[in-house]
Every structure is written in C-alpha cells, then in structure tokens.
Amino acid sequence: MREIATDIRVAVLNAITPLVVSTTTIPVRDTFMPPSVTIPDFQTGKAYVLLTDQSEAETTNNDCSIRQSVNFNINIVTKFPVGSGGKKASELISNAIQLKMTEQYLILPADLQLLNIRKTFSRVQIEQGSTEIAYQKILGYTFDIFQVS
C-alpha cells in the first residue's frame, strides 16, 4: 500500500478547476486561501473554495486487492456584508462542483482506480462578524480506491 493523499487532492483540484459559475471563475485551493489570491465578486459577495479534511483508511488487504476508503471535504465559502447575501450563492457553486465529482472528471494515476464515489453529506455553516457574514457549504465525499499492483 502506498500514500495516496496527494494523488486524491490533485485529482479533485484538476476535476473542479477551473470552476466557472455564472461567468465568474471561483478560485479553488488546497487547505487555505493565500493572501495573494484575488477573491472575485460573486452574487454581490465574495466566493472561494477550499479542499479540507481528508482521511484515508485501508478497507481490504489480501492477495487480490489493496483498497482504501478516502473521506474528503470541500468547503465553499461565500462572504457578504451583514444584512445581505444568503445560501443561494454557495448552492450555485456546490451544484457546479457536484457535476464534476464523477469518474469522468476525477483522473487518478495509472496504479489507482476509482471504484466508487458518493456524497456522504452536505451541510451549511454560518458565521457572522460585525461587518461580514460567511456562508459555508461543506460537501463530504467518500472515494473507494483500488490500488493496482
């Protein structure tokens, strides 16, 4: 068995990037948004996507196959001035991402095969500050990966 964490993140980044929603290119980054990245205006607010919270576990290890189950979260962040915005912007971005989270778009190295992908959850988290409100739509996925010997 080998380390597959980076391969999974790269496959997801490549599958959903560029992320264009309603003619706006939404930045997608691994773990954090660098200060040098310009966050675009989207639906009267700002929007970006982060790949976060990843874990892998061995599910089968015998002479015939080595499999891993990978749990992976995608955080869609939209920010608006207090008193404006809403969940709709993050839902539009979520839809664009979900359309690309398929075997057609997720390309893995030759020694890994994606057996199954499923959305395990989708939830909204709201954080309000004194001048800004952030709506996060968090998508959780599970991938079943077969390692080809």
Q: Which two tokens stand for residue 100?
A: 């690309």
Which amino acid, 31? T
pLDDT at 1 over 80: no
* Positions of E strands within 27-110: 28-30, 41-42, 45-61, 66-81
pLDDT at 66: 78
106: containing domain: 5-147
Q: Per the confidence metrics, is the pTM higher than 0.95?
A: no
Confidence band, pLDDT 50/70/90 cuts, at residue 87: very high
Q: What SS3 state is found at 134?
A: strand
pLDDT at 32 over 70: yes
Placement of tokens 């939209």 in the chain: 78
DSSP assigned state of 28: E
What's the total number of domains in the chain?
1
The mean pLDDT of 97-114, rounded to a whole number, is 96
d(CA 27, CA 34): 11
List the CATH number of the domain containing 25.
Answer: 3.30.2000.30
pLDDT at 2: 82
The phi, psi pair for 30, rounded to 5°, reads -90, 115
The mean pLDDT of 63-92, rounded to a whole number, is 91
